[in-house]
A = this chain, B = another copy of it.
């Protein structure tokens, strides 16, 4: 192997952090603001995914876990690498931005970004950011917002990957609390895929899956008949993995 024209690149990791509020799918975005030094007015406001460059002695996966922990405080979270973005012009959008005037010229270098998506139970998570605003946004909105760099493309690819994977792998449960109702699970699948699912068949199918385990507790604090709660048993799922063929919903 000829290493004579060896070329070195910046490497960063971007985390697409997905959450579910029992209605729609959300994603974590970090706000960027820049005030014009002369007038003091806010000139730029856009959003980025949660990202950071990797450290020299750090595995890619660990960088993603670090970023996730910095932003959510959470550990042992479902995290999956889905794509790497390395177009030579991927920071070109930034060139037209005033950002270039205030930040390190390092941005002008070539930057590779490895994309990860995280699935978290967002119901009780508090988001952290030392210097900028950070918040949840509906994914549908985020796809039309002004995102920095190629974060639009990264988000879209993360969503596509999630939509695909959720059909055959039991990852949807990562977005729900430990106990959930079948309606909540159905709403989640609908939010991810964008399709509506027939309730009767969805229930019938789920009830005969041995890894969807009913609990004695019932739903609480709702203004109608409370639903039975369930939890997902990963062990049973793995034991019965070969018996399955088609969709999980």
Inter-chain contact A103/B11, CB cutoff 8 Å: no
- A100 smallest CB distance to B (angstroms): 13
Known A-B contacts A60-B87, A81-B83, A103-B1; the reply to A7 vs B55 at CB < 8 A is yes
List the B residue with the shortest CB-CB distance to A7. B56
Indicate how many identical chains form the complex.
Answer: 2
Q: How far is the CA of A107 from the CA of B2 in the complex (A)?
A: 11
Residue interface mask A25-65, B partner, CB < 8 A = 1: 00000000000000000000000000011111111110000
- Answer whether residue A73 sits at the interface, using C-beta atoms and an 8 A cutoff: no
Chain B residues with Cβ below 8 Å from A103 are 1, 3
Known A-B contacts A11-B86, A60-B86; the reply to A6 vs B110 at CB < 8 A is no
Inter-chain contact B88/A114, CB cutoff 8 Å: no
Known A-B contacts A53-B3, A54-B7, A104-B3; the reply to A114 vs B59 at CB < 8 A is no
Which of these, B8, B84, B85, B164, contacts A9 with CB under 8 Å? B8
Known A-B contacts A54-B86, A86-B60; the reply to A9 vs B9 at CB < 8 A is yes
Inter-chain contact B104/A52, CB cutoff 8 Å: no
- Answer whether residue A112 sits at the interface, using C-beta atoms and an 8 A cutoff: yes
List the B residue with the shortest CB-CB distance to A52. B1
Which A residues contact B (CB, under 8 angstroms)? 1, 3, 5-11, 52-61, 81, 83-88, 103-104, 106-107, 110, 112, 114, 164, 168, 246-247
Pull 15 A–B residue pairs with CB atoms less than 8 Å apart, ordered by A: A6-B10, A6-B53, A6-B104, A6-B106, A7-B54, A7-B55, A8-B10, A9-B9, A11-B11, A54-B86, A56-B110, A60-B86, A60-B112, A81-B83, A246-B246
